[in-house]
Amino acid sequence: MNKWVNIILVALLCISSATCQRGKPITEKNGAGGTVSETQAQFPVKEKVSAEIQKLHRVFASLSQRTRDGIVNGDSQEFLADLQQVLAEDADNLLTLVDKQHYLAADFVPADIVALKANDFYLLNRNDLSLRVPVEKSLREMGLAAKADGINLVVSSTYRSYDYQKNLYERNVRQLGKEVADRESAPPGASQHQLGVAVDFGSITDDFAQTKQGRWLASNAGKYGWSLSFPDGYEDVTGYRWECWHYRYIGVTAVEFQKKWFSDVQQFMLEFIHAWKTVQ
């Protein structure tokens, strides 16, 4: 056992038993402003554990082993404080989990979707692209910063309707076969693009990673609240192979939260937040 899995099991043992014999201690603040170890505190009754800590145990128990293993060990109160800050700042509901297990309705369209027009901040390779308002605002800020470094960000794909994604997916299945298509393309309702928060940049090919634009985004996108959705080596987690061109806007605070606690993997963080919002 390792990381948060070990911590949660230890905490649960402490709740259900008068003694704690095993595992790493998770630290919590005591009344004097110091810290006490759960293994030292030896909570004999559930009432001595805060409601948030109890919920944290339930949420972790609901996650897959792979996701739990991706969450970094640390102080539970610090983790919860960071979580609450992320949730408080997400007034625009940017952190919706959409994947092959969590689908959007066929008629889902973001209420604040706006058409993208030619501008001085980034380049468009099509004239039918659109994004949510806060996402486009951040894209302008990031595009301006990139231009200051001599980089022009090229926006190739953005919001996709359910029907658009359906046609794209079915075409990929016909051309590539379902097994290959499922690694490359989301089924209708399972695409982050339908949320209006994701952008495919540049060539939409693996070569993009080695371009000036791709390298700049890899180094700087997080500063502006953008996160690579499908990192290399995590196909078993995200459901898709590496996509060096696909970034999702989640906000600066969420990016920092992802880096600090979730091994810098967007999927781990979004799965946890979804569970936090749904587990009672």
Mean pLDDT value of segment 254-262: 98
Residue-averaged pLDDT of the chain:
87
Q: Is the pLDDT of residue 29 over 60?
A: no
pLDDT of 16 above 90? no
Residue (of 138, 112, 238, 108) closest to 183 by Cα position: 238
Q: Which two tokens stand for residue 69?
A: 């293993």
Q: Is the pLDDT of residue 266 over 50?
A: yes
Q: State which amino acid sits at residue 37.
A: S
- Predicted TM-score of the model (pTM): 0.85
| pLDDT over 80 (residue 147) | yes
Average pLDDT over residues 204-213: 98
Alpha-carbon 149 to chain mean position? 27
**Any idea which residue has 């128990």 for tokens?**
61
Kindly state the tokens that stand for 237: 């987690």
Output the pLDDT for position 40.
32
Tell me which residue of 225, 252, 240, 236 sits closest to 70, measured CA to CA. 236
Per-residue model confidence (pLDDT) at position 38: 35
User: Does residue 21 register a pLDDT over 70?
Assistant: no
Residues 181 and 240: their CA atoms lie apart, in Å, by: 10
pLDDT-derived band at 156 (thresholds 50, 70, 90) equals very high
